Amino acid sequence: MDSSNNIVKRINLLNAWASSWSADGSGPATETVQIEFDDVVIEEGPGNASPSA
């Protein structure tokens, strides 16, 4: 979303799962997650549409 709360781009990960998850306990709470997915769909928001000819 942009500063006016308009959708700029939507990314849908299809059949996604966390394949690995780790936490670093040496300082502030920091976690690392690797996400795997089967397919991705990227939708442009109305404000990002290409101008028509």
Assigned domain for 3 exists: no
Assigned domain for 30 exists: yes
Q: How many CA atoms lie within 13 A of 28 on its CB side?
A: 0
* pLDDT-based confidence at residue 53 (cuts at 50, 70, 90): very low
CB 8 within 8 A of CB 45: yes
Assigned domain for 31 exists: yes
State the total domains in the chain. 1
Q: Give the span between the Cα atoms of 36 and 15, in whole angstroms.
A: 8
Prediction pTM value: 0.55
Mean pLDDT value across residues 25-44: 89
Mean pLDDT value across residues 17-22: 93
Which pairs from 32-38 meet CB under 8 Å and 24+ separation?
A: 37/13, 38/14
User: How confident is the model at residue 24, as a pLDDT?
Assistant: 83
Assigned domain for 18 exists: yes
